[in-house]
Amino acid sequence: CPSSPKLPSTPSEKCGVLNVTKITEHGKKVRKNWASTWTVLQGSSLLFAKGQGSGTSWSYCRNGSFPEILLSLLSNWKRSIKPQPAVSYTRCRYARAPSFGGNQTKPEFSVDLRGGSVEWASKEKSSKKHVIELKTRAGTDLLIQSEIESVVSDWFRALSETINTHAWE
């Protein structure tokens, strides 16, 4: 897992891409806004960075730096996908696993798991499959989901263990 510059000595215990939405913020119900979210479990905190995926993607690259790839993707799209032969492109694979230490210096939001709880969300909470409901002491409640059941089960276990470990703090 990529580590956070804010917590350089703390290795992250678990990370991955999950679908996440807040359902309650400071005790008040909020409208769902499901987003694919890079999620990192670090100590008793769960950190989120929206809009970032993991793994690798194919792209047309010039020098391989991420902003250049984005620019080249944009210009390629404008030129109807195929890159122009005048510029030399190579098809390359680049890592999409983001790091809070990369261009994103801090997580978009985070929750403190101490005093929180996790349970499998009821059908009333979401029509999706494999949904965890995470309630925090601060009154920010989240739904966490993946289409892959084993992924969600692993997160359920990790979150439960973390909450139990930090129960008395």
Binding site for ligand I3S (CB under 6 A): 32, 34, 126-128
Minimum Å distance from CB 84 to ligand I3S?
39
| Separation in Å, CA 121 to CA 63, 81, 105, 111 | 45, 41, 32, 18
Q: Name the residue nearer to ligand I3S (CB basis): 42 or 126.
A: 126
Q: Name the residue nearer to ligand I3S (CB basis): 32 or 93.
A: 32
Minimum Å distance from CB 126 to ligand I3S?
3
Minimum Å distance from CB 116 to ligand I3S?
20
Q: Name the residue nearer to ligand I3S (CB basis): 96 or 128.
A: 128
Q: Name the residue nearer to ligand I3S (CB basis): 41 or 143.
A: 143
Minimum Å distance from CB 147 to ligand I3S?
12
d(CA 65, CA 87): 16
